């Protein structure tokens, strides 16, 4: 079990490094051609470890949604990224924004991860990658480290491909400020 977790962590680190080094064009990424900004975000309903057991994008209409895809629970980069989003959660709430994480991990893994890291935002389970594929954030057997900001009208307003977990939450907040100031 520990060896498997180490292999997953090593793979996640390699994928994160590769997506950072291969600076993709604005509309391209490892997961494929990206959905154009301004287009409707793909709708979804996925199981979660929080609330009533399911979360749908439609649940957050009239709110900003920070939808972040990540490779695996308990890996170093994913843990740092989640910790930073949690650290800044009050700032997201002040901006009428909901943070949602998606990976291929199970609901049980998400529950353990949230408990271990004190995460108060939902993590959704996408084991077959259906939603990750719809957002072009899937590679092989896991989600890529991509983030999308969905506007209150349900359209994709911004995207971040191959993010750096340590500074990512602050980048997202700055972009939310820009988007909200221009709307």
The 10s digit of each residue's pLDDT in 48-84 is: 988 789 999 999 999 999 999 999 999 999 999 999 9
Instruction: Tell me the two tokens of residue 9.
Output: 């962590």
Q: What is the pTM of this model?
A: 0.83
Q: How far apart are CA 155 and CA 142, in angstroms?
A: 24
pLDDT band at 157 (very low <50, low <70, confident <90, very high): very high
Q: How far apart are CA 116 and CA 122, in angstroms?
A: 14
pLDDT surpassing 70 at residue 20: no
For 25, counting Cβ atoms within 10 Å of its Cβ (0-12 exposed, 13-18 middle, 19+ buried), the class is: exposed
pLDDT surpassing 60 at residue 37: yes
For residue 112, the model assigns a pLDDT of 97
Indicate if 78 belongs to the active site. yes
Q: How far apart are CA 123 and CA 165, in angstroms?
A: 16
Superfamily per CATH, domain 2-182:
Glutaredoxin (3.40.30.10)
Instruction: Tell me the two tokens of residue 63.
Output: 């709110």
Look at residues 44, 35, 12 and name the one whose alpha carbon lies nearest to residue 136.
Answer: 35
Give me the catalytic one of 15, 46, 78, 123. Answer: 78
Sign, CA torsion 27/31/32/33: negative
């Amino acid at each position: 079990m520990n060896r498997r977790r180490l292999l997953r962590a090593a793979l996640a680190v390699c994928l994160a490094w590769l997506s950072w080094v291969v600076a993709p064009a604005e509309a391209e990424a490892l997961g494929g051609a990206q959905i154009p900004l301004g287009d409707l975000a793909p709708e979804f309903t996925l199981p979660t470890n929080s609330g009533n057991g399911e979360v749908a994008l439609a649940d957050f209409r009239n709110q900003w949604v920070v939808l972040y895809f990540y490779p695996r629970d308990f890996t170093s980069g994913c843990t740092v990224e989640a910790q930073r989003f949690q650290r800044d959660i009050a700032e997201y709430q002040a901006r009428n924004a909901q943070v949602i994480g998606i990976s291929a991990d199970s609901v049980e893994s998400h529950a353990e991860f949230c408990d271990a890291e004190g995460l108060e935002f939902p993590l959704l389970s996408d084991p077959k990658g259906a939603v990750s594929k719809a957002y072009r954030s899937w590679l092989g057997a896991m989600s890529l480290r991509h983030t999308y900001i969905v506007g209150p009208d349900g359209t994709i307003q911004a995207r971040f491909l191959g993010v750096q977990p340590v500074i990512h939450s602050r980048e997202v907040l700055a972009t939310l400020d820009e988007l909200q100031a221009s709307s």
